[in-house]
Amino acid sequence: MPDPNWQTWGLLIAYSAAVVFASVIGGLLPEWIRLTHTRMQLMISFVGGIMLGIAVFHMIPHALVAAGGDSDVVARGLMLGLVVTFFLLRFFHFHQHGPADFGIYAEETKDTDGASESHTTHVCADHHHPAAHEHAHSSRGTTRWIGVLVGLGLHTLTDGVAMASGILSETSHGHAGWLPGFGIFLAVLLHKPLDAVSITSLMHPITTPGKRLMVNISFALMCPLGASLFLMGASFDSGWASQLTAWGLAFSAGVFLCISLSDLLPEMEFHSHSRLQLSAALLLGILIAAAIGLLEGDHAHGQPHPDHTHSDHSSNHDAHDH
């Protein structure tokens, strides 16, 4: 059987490399293609469904296992993740995925009697302002993309914590299936391109391609940085590692819930034009998240093995006798 430490680090390196690649490619999309509004919203619904399902079906149950069934630890970590993400969203406004919001041309094409009609959503960056206002507009744009970068950078650190804690939870309790932590990895992998495109789209009108690429790569590396810091902290003490894993999973579940719902809830009010398609994409994402449990096995969400519990009780009794 492979060494759990090497297995954990090996999986983390592989997952991180895939996430970094996906994030960088997502950030380059505004350089290459025009993203339509409907396609972007379908992608958001699908990824939001996966994040919602991963948080409910995987992260919370794994957090309970890591916490030894202590629901108070999970509840506190979950609430902390929700509240921290809520205030990050409030102060940095970093999680608005939409072409009209980020300077991407949003084209809606409707076929009427065989003729196609193209409607382009214009944003502030597309308008021609007087020269006197150009400097002020550039300053506001710089402030905005830096705020988004800070907020998403902190969020991406927690994504790394989520990946590392998911892998550690499954490998340390002997519940590792085919790919430990795969569900959390998939949610992060699909979500990072949306985050990266939010940053580079804001930068697009006011920065150079070289600067956008540098910021894009730096942002992508925040995920493996968060994961590495978490694993190094968990490696000092096995007992503390279990508690840290429980808190990391519960906190990350709160982050996932807040992020997914912040994407999904506005659709009910602002995207009524594609209700069936968006609802189908959401349900598909949730179903995929539930199906990933098949890769983990039936025992993945179970409590620690009775033998371990019995031995723990025996050692406690012996210590008491002495």
In angstroms, rounded to a whole number, what is the distance separating the alpha carbons of residues 305 and 174?
9
Q: Supply the pLDDT for residue 84.
A: 92
Radius of gyration of the chain (CA): 22
pTM given for the model: 0.73
- Yes or no: say if 252 and 81 are a contact pair by the CB < 8 Å rule: yes
Average of per-residue pLDDT across 67-72: 91
CA distances in angstroms from 312 to 15, 304, 315, 317, listed in the order given: 34, 11, 5, 9
- 36 backbone dihedrals φ, ψ, rounded to 5°: -75, 155
Q: Which residues contact 97 (CB under 8 A, 6 or more apart)?
A: 40, 44, 194, 197, 198, 263
Q: Give pLDDT tens digits for 221-237.
A: 999 999 999 988 887 76
* Burial call 100-124: b when 16+ CB within 10 Å, e when fewer: ebbbbbbbeeeeeeeeeeeeebebe
Average pLDDT taken over every residue of the chain: 76
Say what percent of the chain tops pLDDT 90.
32
- Please give the structure tokens belonging to residue 277: 């398609």
* Burial call 149-187: b when 16+ CB within 10 Å, e when fewer: bebbbbbbbbbbbbbbbbbbbbbbbebbbebbbbbbbbb
Q: Give pLDDT tens digits for 260-298.
A: 888 777 766 666 667 888 889 999 999 999 998 776 655
